[in-house]
């Protein structure tokens, strides 16, 4: 039985899904004028960036773990897809729990200064 078409389909699906987070963030940044953004919109963009950053960091960490690939090409592609989905979910949770890593808050304060918006007191987390 020839599984080459199935493997190609899963590989394409995996490639498309792995780029979705980057595309969403890029689209949000391209179409936005943050000089006129509300505090919530600004913080949302910063949290999305923090989640994307954490996701990429986790993916690089996973690459350091030795793995034994005993499955077929389509099975490995599906496992990679679900592993990436899991990592994305964990990264989103990590960025939303207890202020995340703090990167979103630092970006938020810097963007407010760059756009000349009201000053933000240090340590204030907007949620």
pLDDT tens for each residue of 12-65 = 665 666 566 667 666 666 656 666 778 888 888 899 999 999 999 999 998 898
pLDDT of residue 11: 59
In a domain, 121, yes or no: no
Domain count of the fold of the chain: 1
Helices (DSSP H) in the chain: which residue ranges?
4-18, 20-30, 39-63, 73-96, 103-114
**93-111-101 Cα angle (round to 5):** 25
In tens, the pLDDT along 73-103 reads: 777 788 888 999 999 999 999 988 887 889 9
Q: Does residue 110 fall inside a structural domain? A: yes
| 68 found inside a domain | yes
The answer to whether residue 85 sits within a structural domain is yes
The predicted pLDDT at position 52 comes to 94
Residue 79: give the domain boundaries: 4-114
Give a yes or no: residue 125 inside a domain. no
In a domain, 119, yes or no: no
In a domain, 29, yes or no: yes
Burial of 95 (0-12, 13-18, 19+ CB in 10 A): buried
Size of the chain, expressed as the number of residues it contains: 127
Q: What is the pLDDT of residue 121?
A: 46
The gap from C-alpha 56 to its chain's centroid, in whole angstroms, comes to 7
């Amino acid at each position: 039985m020839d599984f080459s078409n199935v493997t190609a389909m899963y590989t394409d699906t995996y490639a498309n899904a792995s780029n979705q987070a980057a595309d969403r963030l890029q689209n949000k940044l391209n179409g936005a004028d943050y000089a006129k953004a509300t505090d919530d919109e600004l913080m949302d963009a910063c949290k999305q960036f923090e989640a994307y950053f954490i996701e990429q960091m986790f993916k690089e960490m996973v690459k350091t773990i030795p793995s034994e690939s005993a499955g077929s090409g389509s099975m490995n592609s599906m496992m990679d897809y679900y592993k990436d989905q899991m990592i994305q979910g964990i990264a989103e949770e990590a960025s939303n729990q207890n202020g995340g890593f703090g990167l979103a808050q630092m970006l938020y304060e810097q963007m407010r200064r760059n756009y000349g918006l009201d000053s933000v007191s240090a340590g204030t987390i907007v949620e």
